[in-house]
Amino acid sequence: MTVFDSIILGIIEGFTEFLPISSTGHLIVASSFLGIDQNSVTKAYEVIIQFAAILAVVFNYKDKFSIKKIDLWTKVFLAFLPIGAVGFIFSHQIKELFSIHIVAIMFIVGGVVFLAVEKFFIPNETKLIDDVEEVTIKQSLFIGFAQVFALIPGTSRAGSTIIGALLVGLSRKASAEFSFLLAFPVMSAVSAYDLLKHYREFSDANLLTLVVGFFVAFIVAYLTIKLFLAFLEKFTFVAFGVYRIIFGAILLLIY
């Protein structure tokens, strides 16, 4: 992997991780296009850029990372449990699903779901929850089970959690923010597991590519979170649904 590859993948990770368009799907496609082998060294690089994205959440929501917010984090942890359990039990079966064909199909399916939800999702600010701290345990569990669909490559962790949140009465803004916070335990668990599994490969990796990838992914992810929330103040998720369908169709035609 070259420094140029590191920059490109860092940008893709930072930009797509928190948008409902599947970071994993984009990274798979980008790696294939750049001719990057999916080996243990590449996996070590992915751990680094995922950690950068985690830090972007922490820096954007420093006020939420406090013992005073224990009630909020209890709900976030409960929402994490379904994907944590299913992902651990069926990890080998999930790995077998990784292919560009499946990614393309799930891009299209996810896009159709977003358009369908927006078609019947009528915003009413007097009834919708606009503060993530007001989410109930029942709602957080529903979002958690919705997140399980993200184990299918191309579905999008952010996309599945946002859809789940919209369906239980959260506003677009609150849905996105709960998805950001839920990314913290999910990505921390994945990164920690991958780090333990591939820590030997860090000695073989190019230190410069790791450092460049980390900073690029962090900066892009930090800005993307802010821009995404600003976008949702004026627009819906329809654009993301259309993008997913077009991107998925292009992948099917090419591959």
CA distances from 86 to 18, 44, 83, 145, 151 (A): 21, 23, 5, 10, 9
pLDDT, tens only, 110-123: 999 999 998 887 65
pLDDT, tens only, 219-253: 999 999 999 999 999 999 999 999 999 999 998 99
- Predicted local distance difference test score (pLDDT) of residue 63: 92
